[in-house]
Amino acid sequence: MWRGLARAAAVLAAVACLVGTGAGGWLLTGERMGAALGIGPPGGDLVVARCYQVYDTEGYDDGRDCRGDFTPAGGSADAVRPMVLRGAAADHRPGTRLAVRLSHGAAYEPSAEPAVKYGIAAGLVLVVGGTLAAWLFACARHGRLQDGEGYVFAALAGLVGVPLLGIAVGVVAGLLEAVF
């Protein structure tokens, strides 16, 4: 009887882990990545005022952002408000009008750089949650706690592999963006 309850609890915990991982991945990165990929209709137009380099907290180059005036799609001149364009694909001249998508109070144009960054973040969240769920399912299948050493190594491999894959995808996407 207890073994059956333990299996059911492990399955429920694994499903909850998968649901939480999926929701966390979507809430943290999904909408931003979709906006950076150009999925969906534009939320409006941004007229660029200036572009500038952005640096992370350690002083490393973190891409290019632009500031400008955003007009919502179908909006009037009264609806214009200042906004930041995150991860600009190019160094836009002042006055350039861009069709942008909105996410979390920022504008995004189709650009590989922010899409790859958010893709890497989503991959890291999925590796951790997926590995934990796999261990919980293994515990449920066997009816007892399983040795987690292999799962820890799989998670570590995923935590190293996802950024490496992201870098490779980013290089290819950057080359394609530069050529086309």
Q: Name the residue ranges covered by the structural domains of the chain.
A: 2-35+115-179, 41-109
pLDDT the model gives residue 1: 66
What's the CA gap between 118 and 140, in Å, rounded? 33
Contact criterion met (CB below 8 Å) for 119 and 29: yes
- CA 4 – CA 11 distance, rounded (Å): 11
**Angstrom distance (rounded) from CA 102 to CA 36:** 9
Residues of the chain with pLDDT > 70, as a percent, come to 99
Whether the per-residue pLDDT at 124 is higher than 70: the answer is yes
β-bridge mates for residue 2, sequence order: none
Residue 7 near residue 133, CB atoms below 8 Å: no
Q: Is the model's pLDDT at 180 over the cut of 80?
A: no
pLDDT digits (tens, 9 = 90+) for 11-57: 999 999 999 999 998 988 988 999 998 888 999 999 999 999 999 88
Task: Return the C-alpha torsion angle 83, 88, 92, 98, nearest 10.
Answer: -60
Cα–Cα distances (Å) from 82 to 13, 72, 155, 178, in that order, read: 45, 11, 42, 29
- Whether 85 and 34 have beta carbons less than 8 Å apart is answered as no
Please say whether the beta carbons of 33 and 118 come within 8 A.
yes
Look at the block and give the residue holding tokens 């922010």.
Answer: 114
